[in-house]
C-alpha cells in the first residue's frame, strides 16, 4: 500500500506471483508445494481484490470472464497455450503504456478476470484450496492468528487428502461430480465471507473506530455453518461407506469452457469466421473434444466394403445436401460389449489406475453428462499400458467383450491381440 495508487495492482500481482513461485520451490515432497497449479495472476484480479469487489452470490456460469473475485479465478491452470496467450497480451499492453505511443493506439486495459482454470477431479479441488491459501499467505504472516477462511481452506485440504477419504473412495467406487459438490460448499462459504467483508457497517467499525459490539457477524456464522454441514455429510457417508450421489442438474452452473481442458487456444476474436474452417473454430478440435469418441471418418474395420476414397471426394450435385446425418455416438467406441446393457460400473476393473467413462468408450452406450468426472480418451495412447492390460485381463475373466481393432491394432501385447475385433466380433486371425 506504500505504492502510488496507479501501481498498487501491478505490485500486488507481482507479490502474489512471487509467493506462488517460492511456495513451489520450498519442498517438492509437501502437498502445499506439489499441488500448486496456478501461474497467471492478472493485474485485473489484483485490482478487484484491492477494491474489495468480491462475489456475494452463486455464479450462473463459469464459461466466460467475471467482473468479481470468486473461487473460479484460482482454479488449477493446465492449458499452457491459454496461459502464454494471456501473459503475452498483458506484456504487450504494458510495453505500449511505457512506450511513447499516443493514447488512441494503446490497448484498452481489461478489467474482467479471465477464467482459464479447470477442475476434473478431487485432486484439482485440493489444488484450488491450496492456490487460494498460498495467495492469502502473501498478505498474512504466519506468526499471527490465522484468518478463519484460511483455516477452513486447510480443513478442506485435510478432509480430501487423508486415509479415510482414500479408503472411502476405494470402497464405494468413483463418485462423478464429487469435486463440484465440494466446490459448491467452498463457493457458498466464500460468498458468506464476502458478505461480511463488504458490509458497510462493518467497514465503518474498522475505519471509524466504532464499538466492536456493533460488528455484524452473520456472514461468519453462515460460513462456519456451511463448512460444518459439509464435514458432517462427508463423515456420515464415510462411516456408513455409502457414496454421495450428485445430480448433474445441481452443478450445471459450473460448466467451464471446453478450451480450459485442452492444450490449445480458441481463435482470436479479431479473426473473421468467413471460411468453413473458421466457422467451426468456435469449438475445440475433434481430437480434444469430449463429444466425439473418435474421428467419424475412420472405418469400422478393414473388412468393410466401403467405396473407394476418390468416390467419397466427388462433389455433390447442385442443390443436394452436402453433409449427411451426424453419426450416432452409440455406434462409436474403443470397446465392444457382449451385453451393451451391462452396468457401467462393471465394465472395467474397480481398481483401475485411470477412471474411464464406460458410457463414452464403449460401443452401444452414450455419455450424456456434460460434467462427467471420468476420463474420455479418444485414442489408445491416452490410456496407460498397465490399464489396457488390466482391462484385457478383466474382459477375459468376466467374458465382457473385446477391443476395437482400429484403436488397439498397434498394441504389441498378446493379451490385447487376442481380443482385437470389429463390430462382428473378435477377428479369427487374432483369436
Lowest mean pLDDT among 245-254, 268-277, 311-320: 268-277
Place 302 in a pLDDT band, splitting at 50, 70 and 90.
very low
| pLDDT tens-place string over residues 169-196 | 999 998 989 999 999 999 999 999 999 9
Q: What contacts 125, CB < 8 A, 6 or more positions away? A: 119, 156, 160, 179, 182, 183, 186
Q: What is the pLDDT of residue 95?
A: 58
pTM over 0.85: no
Give me the sign of the Cα torsion angle 367, 370, 375, 379: positive
The stretches of 241-299 forming alpha helices (DSSP H) are 276-279
Mean pLDDT of 229-243: 95
Q: Nine-digit cell at 128? A: 484450488
Mean pLDDT of 334-341: 88
Asked whether 425 and 412 are in contact (CB, 8 A), the reply is no
| pLDDT tens-place string over residues 119-141 | 989 999 999 999 999 999 888 87
Q: What is the pLDDT of residue 277?
A: 41
Q: What is the pLDDT of residue 90?
A: 67
Q: What is the pLDDT of residue 70?
A: 93
Asked whether 46 and 9 are in contact (CB, 8 A), the reply is yes
- For residue 332, pLDDT over 90 is answered with no
What CA–CA distances, in Å, run from 139 to 30, 38, 133, 191, 195?
Answer: 21, 17, 10, 20, 20
Cα–Cα dist 426/348, whole Å:
19
Residue 269 class from Cβ within 10 Å (0-12 exposed, 13-18 middle, 19+ buried)? Answer: exposed
- For residue 79, pLDDT over 50 is answered with yes
Residue 140 class from Cβ within 10 Å (0-12 exposed, 13-18 middle, 19+ buried)? Answer: middle
- For residue 320, pLDDT over 60 is answered with no
According to DSSP, the β-strands at 335-337 and 425-426 are unpaired
The stretches of 142-199 forming alpha helices (DSSP H) are 148-160, 163-172, 178-198
Rounded percentage of the chain residues whose pLDDT exceeds 70? 78
φ, ψ of residue 283 to 5 degrees: the values are: -120, 155
Angle at CA of residue 207, ends 205 and 212, nearest 5°: 25
Q: What is the pLDDT of residue 220?
A: 94
Asked whether 149 and 166 are in contact (CB, 8 A), the reply is no
Q: Which residue has the higher pLDDT, 39 or 159?
A: 159
Amino acid at each position: 500500500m506504500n505504492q502510488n495508487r496507479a501501481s498498487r495492482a501491478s505490485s500486488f500481482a507481482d507479490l502474489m506471483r512471487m509467493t506462488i513461485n517460492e511456495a513451489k520451490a520450498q519442498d517438492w515432497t509437501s502437498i502445499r508445494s506439489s499441488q500448486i497449479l496456478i501461474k497467471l495472476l492478472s493485474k485485473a484480479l489484483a485490482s478487484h481484490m484491492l477494491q474489495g469487489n468480491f462475489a456475494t452470490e452463486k455464479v450462473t456460469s463459469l464459461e466466460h470472464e467475471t467482473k468479481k473475485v470468486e473461487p473460479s479465478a484460482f482454479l488449477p491452470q493446465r492449458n499452457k497455450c491459454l496461459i502464454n496467450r494471456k501473459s503475452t497480451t498483458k506484456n504487450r499492453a504494458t510495453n505500449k503504456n511505457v512506450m511513447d505511443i499516443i493514447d488512441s493506439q494503446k490497448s484498452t486495459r481489461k478489467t474482467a478476470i479471465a477464467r482459464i482454470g479447470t477442475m476434473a477431479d478431487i485432486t484439482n479441488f485440493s489444488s484450488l484450496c491450496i492456490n487460494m491459501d498460498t495467495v492469502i499467505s502473501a498478505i498474512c504472516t504466519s506468526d499471527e492468528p490465522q484468518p478463519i477462511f484460511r483455516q477452513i481452506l486447510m480443513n478442506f485440504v485435510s478432509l480430501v487428502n487423508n486415509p479415510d477419504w482414500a479408503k472411502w473412495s476405494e470402497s464405494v467406487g468413483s463418485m462423478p461430480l464429487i469435486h463440484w459438490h465440494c466446490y459448491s460448499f467452498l463457493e457458498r462459504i466464500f460468498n458468506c465471507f464476502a458478505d461480511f467483508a463488504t458490509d458497510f457497517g462493518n467497514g465503518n467499525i474498522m475505519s471509524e473506530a466504532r464499538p466492536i459490539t456493533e460488528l455484524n457477524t452473520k456472514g461468519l456464522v453462515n460460513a462456519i455453518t456451511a463448512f460444518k454441514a459439509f464435514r458432517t455429510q462427508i463423515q456420515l457417508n464415510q462411516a456408513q461407506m455409502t457414496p454421495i450421489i450428485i445430480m448433474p442438474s445441481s452443478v450445471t452452473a459450473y460448466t467451464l469452457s471446453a478450451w480450459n481442458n485442452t492444450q490449445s487456444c480458441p481463435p482470436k476474436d479479431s479473426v473473421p469466421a468467413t471460411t468453413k474452417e473458421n466457422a467451426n473454430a468456435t469449438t475445440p478440435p475433434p481430437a480434444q473434444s469430449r463429444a466425439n469418441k473418435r474421428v467419424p471418418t475412420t472405418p469400422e474395420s478393414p473388412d468393410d466394403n466401403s467405396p473407394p476414397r476418390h468416390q467419397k471426394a466427388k462433389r455433390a450435385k447442385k442443390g443436394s445436401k452436402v453433409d449427411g446425418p451426424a453419426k450416432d455416438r452409440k455406434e462409436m467406441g474403443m470397446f465392444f460389449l457382449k451385453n451393451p446393457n451391462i452396468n457401467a460400473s462393471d465394465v472395467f476393473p474397480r481398481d483401475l489406475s485411470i477412471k474411464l467413462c464406460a458410457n463414452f468408450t464403449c460401443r452401444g452406450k452414450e455419455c450424456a453428462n456434460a460434467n462427467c468426472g471420468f476420463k474420455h480418451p479418444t485414442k489408445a495412447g491416452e490410456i496407460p499400458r498397465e490399464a489396457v492390460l488390466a482391462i484385457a485381463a478383466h474382459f477375459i475373466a468376466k467374458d465382457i467383450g473385446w477391443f476395437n481393432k482400429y484403436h488397439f491394432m498397434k498394441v504389441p501385447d498378446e493379451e490385447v491381440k487376442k481380443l482385437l475385433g470389429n463390430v462382428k466380433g473378435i477377428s479369427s486371425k487374432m483369436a
